[in-house]
Structure 1
Amino acid sequence: MKTSIQTAADALQSALSNPAYRVIALTGKWGTGKTYLWQTLKPKNKGVLEVSAFGARNIEDIKRKLFQDSIKVSNIEAKDFAVSAINVLEAIPKKFLGLSVGDAALAALPQMVKKKTIIIDDVERKNKSLEISEVLGLINEFTEKYNCRFLLILNTDSMEDKQIWQSLHEKVIDKEIALNPTSADSFKIAAGGLDTPIITIAKEVFAEYKIQNIRIIKKTLEAVIEILPKQNSLPESLYRAYIPTLIFLGICYFRGFSNGVTLDYAANHIFRQPNEPKNEEWDAMISKIAIRANKLSELAIDYFRLGVMAHEDVAIFFKPLKANIKNAEFQNRIDTFIKDLYWSLEQTETDVQSFLLILTKKIYRLDAGQISRFFDDLCLHGYKSEAEHLLSAWLEKAKSDPDAYKKLEYVYRERAPKRLWEFKAKLNPPEEKIVSLKEAVQSYLLTDQLTQKSINTLSSATKEEYESTLKSLTTAELKDFFELHFRLGERRENYWRSAQESFIAACKDISMTATETKLGIILGRELKLRKL
């Protein structure tokens, strides 16, 4: 059963207000907001004493912390009493009483804590030398002798001596409130103060993964923001495409999944590296999420491992994706206009002229085929002068474009406006440029896409071409170049399979014929790891 933080807070305040409950326990898993919940109620509960059991080696450590906190919150009269008691005890030689300075302070503790409410946090994080039975013994003593009340804040799942806790629980604890918040509750706390476009999407992702741990949500969010610090203006479709992967990797790194899947295991699975031993549950989970294996995922994994983010590479990764979406939105507006031109009963003359005025400024974003069709559509509906005006604007831009022929390459005479065809006839076709193997691979690494020329290059690449290319790579290029071929070689596309075969043959040849070179050693090592 989920317990909202507000519901648990109301229940805890009610328990604190009821003197019949002398010992209250607030329990819940690590990071679910137990301490946060108490801090929200603290203003309503003045004069309480607070100590943390974290690292306490014995019960005296707890008592000293109590004494120190009692001095902070006590009134002047109580402080004067504590000072007087310590002075008197310290004046008596130790050999008579067996007291140290610390013992003197502890002797004054009962008067300082009388009738106080005492909060003990992090009970499960005490030192192993301190038995939980000692803590519960102190609680029993202080409630019986000094009329104290206690609030224990702890994660019982992390307690080592659970049997003792269970056996004493019924005798000591009067009221237990278990905090089991929803992902939405935890996210609201973790994301407090963060102002970023990813928040809405991130909330959905953490809810899908059922993450309740506030610390892990907060750390993961901070990491994602660090990975994308200059990408606050991305289209929502890109956020939805890539934020889930970044969050998944972050949760893995911070060990936030209940099944314990690690970042290294996820990374190997995503990029088709061997995992030994295999974990079928983890494999099924990662496959179901369908994480994108791309440059951004590589950069994010490197960030979690090394703490350094290559922001320029992130910007390069998103640049063509943003351009594609921008072009798609532009094309959708054209398509909608044409559809309305043909069928809309509401489209007015003003609507048409307003759209064409805006379009004139962006007209060269249309290719020659699109401007030809648009020209025909306008003429068909009585806008011939407007069509000629738009065509003139397009041709004016084309005159200063050294790559104009590419836009006109697939325009045919019978389908093009006369002036467009005449313009093409005056252009000289550019020399055919062959895409090198290195260019084809690097283009894919940057854009996650291949042109037909790049596909042709990969399909025909020989072992010798790969050998030459491998020897020309820099240190910064080698790792990505190598891993890409094993990541994509198992895909169905024949050109990748063919390229991988030539690539592996080249790697084997270099590793066997250049065994003493650093390149030969690296390639040999990687082939051996992959059992090739």
Structure 2
Amino acid sequence: MSLIETKQRLIQALGDKENRVIALSGKWGTGKSHLWRDVQRGAEVDESVTKAVYVSLFGLREMGELKLKAVQSAMSQVSEKTAGGERIRTALRGAKKVLESVHKAFSALDEIALLAVPSLLSEKLIVLDDIERKHEKLGLDEVMGFIDEFTTQHEARFVLILNDDQLSQRALWDTLREKVIDHEIRLITTVEEAFGIAKALTPTRYANAIEKASTTCGLENIRVIRKTIRAVNQILGDRNLDDAVLARVVPSAVLLSAIHFKGLNDGPDFQFVLSTGSVSDWAEILAEKEKDPDTADKRKAQWRSLLEELDIRSCDEFEQVVVDFLESGQFDISAVSTIVARYAAETEALKARDAAHRYMRQLTWDTDVDEAELVEIAKTLVPIAKHLDAYAVTDLSNAISSLPGGADSGNAIVQGWIEHFRTLPHEGSFDEDLFNRPIHDAIREAMASVEAQARSRVTLFETVQHIVKQSGWGTREELVMKTATAAEFESQIRSLSMDERAFFMRHMLRMRIQRGNYDSHFGTATERFTEACRVIATAPNSGRLGALIRALFKNASLESELDPREPGPGTMVGE
């Protein structure tokens, strides 16, 4: 039952005097206390409701504390010029006279109040909230006895506000429902209603973006939503951010906050979210495809579906800053500013990604839109698709091309991307995708062309320098080394400066000594290097360069490799 429907049912139940004990139940944080206050302030109820005695049992250890809090609530009406207020004042005066007749010391307010409880609460509507949060020393049977006494002997009525998802002693609660409660109303607040209440209590300039993410996460606990709003407000401050930037930062901030404040039902943990889109994440996805899914795999599949709904494809330092803030309560404001500024600079790319995500979602789920309209919408993506990565463009193009009449738009998206790609600076190394994601043939050809051009501009020295400094290599480095001829090695050695030559010779000799580690990647590169050195060292009038090479090979215990020999098959010396 929604909030609006529940409110009307509660008003009707309160209007029926036969309902001596009414229970308003539901999950923790879904707005039951808020609903009661809303009803109490309304014009549809009588004075017994507007002047109800409210008691929170949170932390109460004994019945005396409960009664005292009830009296304190009732005494708030003493100064009011009403019949109820006059009745309370009369009860207090009578209680004081009784106590003082026994002993003059009995004039303390607490003793007076406790003695006056029956008179003070007679014919009152008493609201008991937070019953499940009472101290364990205060037994539920005592609370039930209190309710029974005042309903049967003093014409009181009760409203019990119950968080039934947190109740212990289930058998006793069943007894409460069976023997005490006359009418129970269960509140099921929608996620939209919960956010509406939270937003009214905790304003934010990012309300639309937070509501979208909160609704996707299914957050229905108002306390959790308010904490989430406060977290987003603190992290983002009062920045005037573009919608595309908000679409990048708010969903992950909301999700991580919901995880931290335990607002998700069987949701992921921080580590799962932070690793999204990483090599380990993709490796796990590929491994899961090779076996029948178990319970853990199915849970992770649901988590990935949630992340996809939120359009969280990968995480970077922003998500780490959010986690640090949630765990410590502190964060680096300058770091957030730097990250958000970078996102703002990448606004066009973020807008393109958001538009592509919305289109793919519409293509999948909006069955009310016909295919012709989807093709027309696809045309609007052609100018912005250049800001996407090659894999996203491939997916988008394939999806659009599968529509009747969509081939032209799908092809235009690819061609527009390629034209933009060719205008950008490239190092020329496009490593193979570790996850075997599909890539359009035309895009692959464009990448290969750019790679070949860049490779022709990269020297052997630059390649070796990259391998050493990066402690690794990619496709570009492998291709340069595999295709290098002995003549190219010779030319490189002769053209280097003193420091460059020392660096190049030292590391090429190391590769030659450890060629078992390199030959599978670089082919015969170290052999071509040795051939080039042999040509220089054995040439007439080789001079000091020849002497240097002979000394280096001798120190490396490789001097025999400089001995003259007949060119073998495939040798490229002198080419």
**Pair in the same fold by TM > 0.5:** yes
Matches of 1:323 and 1:58, distance apart in 2? 61
Matches of 1:316 and 1:151, distance apart in 2? 53
Matches of 2:351 and 2:172, distance apart in 1? 65
How do 1:277-292 residues align onto structure 2 when only pairs under 5 Å count?
Answer: 280=297, 283-288=300-305, 289-290=307-308, 291=312, 292=314
- Residue of structure 1 aligned with 2:29, choices 31, 35, 43: 31
Matches of 2:245 and 2:234, distance apart in 1? 17
Cα contact 1:57–1:127 (8 A) shared by 2: yes
How do 1:452-471 residues align onto structure 2 when only pairs under 5 Å count?
Answer: 465=469
Change (3 A) 1:459 1:132: farther
Matches of 1:116 and 1:100, distance apart in 2? 24
- Residue-by-residue CA offset, 1:187-236 (whole Å, 9 max, x unaligned): 101111666553223222222221110111111112112211143232x1
- Residue of structure 2 aligned with 1:12, choices 10, 13, 31: 10
Aligned to 1:259: 266
Change (3 A) 1:153 1:196: closer
| Residue 129, structure 1, aligned to residue 137, structure 2 | yes
- Residue of structure 2 aligned with 1:250, choices 232, 251, 257: 257
Cα contact 1:49–1:73 (8 A) shared by 2: no
Change (3 A) 1:192 1:321: same
Name the SS of the counterpart of 1:157 in structure 2. Answer: coil
Letter of the 2:301 partner, please give it.
A
How far apart are 1:144 and its partner, in Å?
0.2
Aligned to 1:117: 125
How far apart are 1:496 and its partner, in Å?
13
- Residue of structure 2 aligned with 1:312, choices 334, 357, 379: 334
Aligned to 1:43: 41
TM-score, normalised via structure 2 length: 0.54
Number of positions where the alignment pairs a residue of Structure 1 with one of Structure 2: 354
Name the SS of the counterpart of 1:27 in structure 2. Answer: strand
| Residue 83, structure 1, aligned to residue 96, structure 2 | no
Matches of 2:161 and 2:5, distance apart in 1? 17
How far apart are 1:121 and its partner, in Å?
0.6
Matches of 1:192 and 1:146, distance apart in 2? 39
Letter of the 2:300 partner, please give it.
D
Cα contact 1:269–1:283 (8 A) shared by 2: no
RMSD: 4.2
Name the SS of the counterpart of 1:308 in structure 2. Answer: coil
Cα contact 2:204–2:229 (8 A) shared by 1: no
Matches of 1:85 and 1:496, distance apart in 2? 95
Aligned to 1:366: none
How far apart are 1:87 and its partner, in Å?
4.1
Cα contact 1:117–1:149 (8 A) shared by 2: yes
Cα contact 1:186–1:214 (8 A) shared by 2: yes
Matches of 1:462 and 1:183, distance apart in 2? 54
Name the SS of the counterpart of 1:298 in structure 2. Answer: helix
- Residue-by-residue CA offset, 1:283-338 (whole Å, 9 max, x unaligned): 334433153211211111111112223232223223343234359999xxxxxxxx
Matches of 1:106 and 1:496, distance apart in 2? 87
Aligned to 1:64: 68
Aligned to 1:207: 215
Cα contact 1:11–1:177 (8 A) shared by 2: yes
Change (3 A) 1:78 1:494: farther
Letter of the 2:261 partner, please give it.
F
How far apart are 1:88 and its partner, in Å?
2.7
Change (3 A) 1:328 1:178: closer
Change (3 A) 1:245 1:282: farther
- In the alignment, structure 2 segments of 5+ residues that lack a partner are 43-48, 79-84, 285-294, 353-421, 428-450, 479-575
Percent of matched pairs sharing the same residue: 27
- In the alignment, structure 1 segments of 5+ residues that lack a partner are 331-408, 412-431, 435-451, 468-484, 498-532
Letter of the 2:55 partner, please give it.
V
Q: Which moved more, 1:264-273 or 1:157-166?
A: 264-273
- Residue of structure 2 aligned with 1:322, choices 323, 341, 344: 344
How do 1:292-307 residues align onto structure 2 when only pairs under 5 Å count?
Answer: 292-307=314-329
Matches of 1:16 and 1:282, distance apart in 2? 44
How far apart are 1:50 and its partner, in Å?
0.7
Change (3 A) 1:312 1:85: same
| Residue 219, structure 1, aligned to residue 217, structure 2 | no
Change (3 A) 1:49 1:298: same
Letter of the 1:237 partner, please give it.
A
Matches of 1:16 and 1:172, distance apart in 2? 16
Change (3 A) 1:281 1:62: farther
TM-score, normalised via structure 1 length: 0.58
Letter of the 1:244 partner, please give it.
P
Bigger RCO (CA 8 Å, 6+ sep): 1
- Residue-by-residue CA offset, 1:357-381 (whole Å, 9 max, x unaligned): xxxxxxxxxxxxxxxxxxxxxxxxx
How far apart are 1:462 and its partner, in Å?
6.4
Change (3 A) 1:461 1:33: farther
Aligned to 2:510: none
Cα contact 2:202–2:226 (8 A) shared by 1: no
Matches of 1:171 and 1:105, distance apart in 2? 29
Aligned to 2:154: 146
- Residue-by-residue CA offset, 1:488-513 (whole Å, 9 max, x unaligned): x9xxx86999xxxxxxxxxxxxxxxx
Cα contact 2:26–2:188 (8 A) shared by 1: yes
Name the SS of the counterpart of 2:228 in structure 1. Answer: helix
How far apart are 1:269 and its partner, in Å?
6.2
Cα contact 2:56–2:131 (8 A) shared by 1: yes
